[in-house]
Structure 1
């Protein structure tokens, strides 16, 4: 738990030092997880040192602009946005660095109890993931945070169920760049796939070519194209489009931006291109999708189409 102007919890197994002034803190516990809703005040930067025996998921909701971190001596730097506001750290990872923030920043922390979860046979994610986006997880964190602010008698049960589902999602996220097919002869190694995914997510609004992706992966265009499809099951540019559609669904459901602005921001060359691609994947137009989302309809529909329509830049 955080408190005071400079917070520290130190022991052989844990360390937690956060700069700035803690303005408010709301916490709630269940057997498998603990949630903390935190608001801090700072002059512009917050120093951070962190080590926990628990698994930790951070959602930087508002007021955090960018960060520079060393995670087990590996440097990470990223701008924080609606599509990159999540960080996950396995148990006993050493983290230090700083955040650039507004005068006030709000964030949610969920700490998972690894022992209880392992005893239940739940696979625990082992790889840190820094500055990533996941529409389904962000939406569930928003609802969890809302309920934690005014918990009722069933909240602990809700938190338990949420913890199980979220760890399954985190296991997929931390392992999804190394699917089973990547172990087949000719498949790309997991680090290359991870670099490609991070590059695509950071550049969704720009033109992305196969040459760009091959360079990031560290292979020739020909080898990359063949190996990527063997590993992922999609051509490289069809994969790029699937992530663009995934992000556009999140924005249509959660952002007041116009459909044209969303199309451009997700890297589609014009509105008709976006509408056609979106309908092929979801079976509905962007405007229909937005209306259903506003009415409380399901927007987590399958994000990719199996059709492979060529390899021009998307």
Structure 2
């Protein structure tokens, strides 16, 4: 945990030095994870040095403008916005850098026990993901942070379930779980398909072009379009839309956010476009889908392929 001005906590396995002044800290623990809700005061920049034996997920909620980090000597730089405030760091990585912040900044840290995955035979995520967008994870972190601020007797049970789901999502994002879709003869190789799926899921709230996807896959635009459809059975843009609808269904069923906000989070340019696309895929309006989910109706997401 952090504490005091220019905090420094170090041991053989961990190091945690954070500049600025810690204004408040709320912590809560479960068997497999720990959450910290932190507020710091600074004159404009915060120096940061970090190493942990645990997996670490950061959500920069408010007041962090941008950062520049070296993660195991690899440089990362990003601006932080409402849709790019997440960072994930695997166990034992060395991180140092600087954050540009407002006078006060608020952020949430979740530290996961590595054994939570290892005990289930799932490889630990090994790749950092810095400054990314994941609407479902951000929404669930918001709710987890709210409950951690005033935990009841069921909070630990809720936290345990949240930790398992979030680690599964992070394992997919970092490419440590085999992709669901395998390549057909003449199609894209499975690693390329997985990179495309990861890129789309990380950027659902942004504009995604065929050129973007072809670059991620490592092929020319023409070859990518032909091979992708052979592999998945959908054109690249239809595939992107299917993942946008999939994510919107999750949010409508699980998040209190408005339908307009969900449409924006999932990359739809305006509400009417979202409503029309959603109805074409599901046969009902977003509001009708939400009502059915609230009443305990069946909620499922059909496979894309």
Alignment TM-score > 0.5, same fold: yes
Bigger shift: 239-248 or 7-16? Answer: 239-248
TM-aligned CA deviation for residue 67 of structure 1: 2.4
Residues 6 and 21 in structure 1, CA contact (< 8 A), matched pair in contact too: yes
Give distance in 2, aligned partners of 1:190 and 1:288: 37
Q: 2:181–2:190: 8 Å Cα contact kept in structure 1? A: no
Give the distance between the partners of 1:60 and 1:300, measured in 2 at CA: 31
SS of alignment partner, residue 180 of structure 1: coil
Give the conservation status (yes or no) of the 8 Å contact 1:178–1:193.
Answer: no
- Mark the CA change 1:198 to 1:101 in structure 2 (over 3 Å): closer, same or farther: farther
Q: 1:231 to 1:60 in 2, by over 3 A?
A: farther
Q: Note the C-alpha offset of 1:178.
A: 5.6
Secondary structure of the 1:101 match is strand
Judge conservation of contact 1:35–1:111 (CA < 8 Å) in 2: yes
1:82 and 2:82 are equivalent in the alignment: yes
1:311 maps to none
Q: Deviations over 1:201-249 (max 9, x none)?
A: 6765666442343244331123212443455564311222234435656
Q: Provide, for residues 90-133 of structure 1, a one-character-per-residue CA deviation record: whole Å limited to 9, x for no partner.
A: 11112222223222221111111214652354543222222223
User: Which segment is superposed worse, 185-194 or 24-33?
Assistant: 185-194
RMSD: 3.8
> What is the alpha-carbon distance in structure 2 between the residues aligned to residue 33 and residue 258 of structure 1?
30
How far the C-alpha of 1:20 sits from its partner, in A, is 1.6
Offset, 1:52: 0.7
Structure 2 alignment gaps of length 5 or more: none
In the superposition, the TM-score normalised over structure 2's length comes to: 0.79
Could you list the per-position Cα deviations for residues 173-209 of structure 1 after superposition, in whole angstroms to 9, with x for gaps in the alignment? 2228961545766554677557645765676566644
Unaligned regions of 5+ residues in structure 1, if any?
A: 306-314
Moved more, 6-15 or 286-295: 286-295
> 2:134–2:201: 8 Å Cα contact kept in structure 1?
no
User: Separation in 2 of the partners of 1:263 and 1:103?
Assistant: 32
Q: How many residues align?
A: 305
Query: In 2 relative to 1, CA 166–291 (structure 1 residues): closer, same or farther, beyond 3 Å?
Result: same
The separation in 1 between residues aligned to 2:227 and 2:293, in whole angstroms, is 37
Structure-1-length-normalised TM-score: 0.77
**Distance (whole Å) between structure 2 residues aligned to residue 16 and residue 291 of structure 1:** 46
Which stretch of the first structure deviates more once superposed, 146-155 or 168-177? Answer: 168-177
